Amino acid sequence: MEIGWIGTGIMGLSMAGHLQNAGHDLHIFNRTKSKAEKLLDRGGAWHDSPASVASNSEIVFTIVGFPSDVEEIYFGESGIMSTEKHPAILVDMTTSQPSLAKRIAEVSSQSGIESLDAPVSGGDIGARDATLAIMVGGNKKTFDEVLPLFRLMGKTISYMGESGAGQHTKMCNQILVAGTVIGACESLFYASKQGLDEQAIIDVIGKGSARSWLINNLGPRIVKKDYEPGFMVDHFIKDMGIALDEAAAAGFSLPGLALVRRLYTELKAQGHGRSGTQALILALKKLNGD
């Protein structure tokens, strides 16, 4: 299959690689060409614009950073929708605004194109190991058509409802992650202040009722002071902002999420916008004068 892929960042590179390994031909665009070199060296075709990718593909996947990036890729001067020759299906895997997912669906349908919003969870490890959770909104028939490709990238693939439902589901995921990451960081910070072996703490509580993917995977990175991004602080702040905006629009509040976002905003101000989410421990340390 001729597949378009736009976005070869921390997760997108591995995800596209799984499709390439399965024998599909990739048509690639990324703002920084060097980040796509691994795919290009293995036969991927480089294109200078999203429009060019779209005009040469049967289906196009996008996974970029921010809603503004999605807007530009789909609706910009050289965006996907600017070309007369369209793919049959568009799949945005960026964590973005539910309202934008609905807009993409409405505009693309006017040209006879199906679209899905399919954000993912699992970070760099899930992308690398093809174990991502993929939450999908859009037409069920279209979901069924794309499912074999989703299965090359993820382990848990769920159809959640109409356009925008995938993005709303990802907001539920990010709200839970926010609560879990602050809990993990405070737990390990407490351990360090009490003179305990932090890795030994992970080995115990990571197998009990407090176990989570986060404590068992990001916890050891915190202990090693490894703040390389599996998922960047900048992007997490964006996601939490979307969730808070959606909640406000619906007339309710999420005080826990608002607190965690404030701590992450302070962490970004310390220069850690491009660090991994586990770097939140540094905000706690600064708050406590460490």
Considering only CA atoms, which of 53, 41, 100 is closest in space to residue 81?
53
For the chain, what's the residue count?
A: 290
Helix (H, G, I), strand (E, B) or coil at 67: helix
Q: Where are the beta strands (DSSP E) in 12-96?
A: 25-29, 45-46, 59-62, 89-92
**Nearest residue to 6 (alpha-carbon basis) of 275, 56, 42, 130:** 56
Instruction: Tell me whether strands 132-138 and 120-121 are parallel, antiparallel or unpaired.
Output: antiparallel
Alpha helix stretches (DSSP H) within 82-164:
98-109, 123-129, 140-153
State yes or no: is 170 an active-site residue: yes
- The DSSP secondary structure of 75-92, one letter per residue, reads HSTTSGGG-SS--SEEEE
DSSP string, 182-193: HHHHHHHHHHHH
121 membership: H or E segment, kind and range = strand 120-121
Site of tokens 């991502």:
132
Among 170, 224, 225, 268, the active-site one is 170
How far is Cα 80 from Cα 72, in angstroms, rounded to an integer? 9
* SS3 assignment, position 17: helix
Catalytic residues: 170
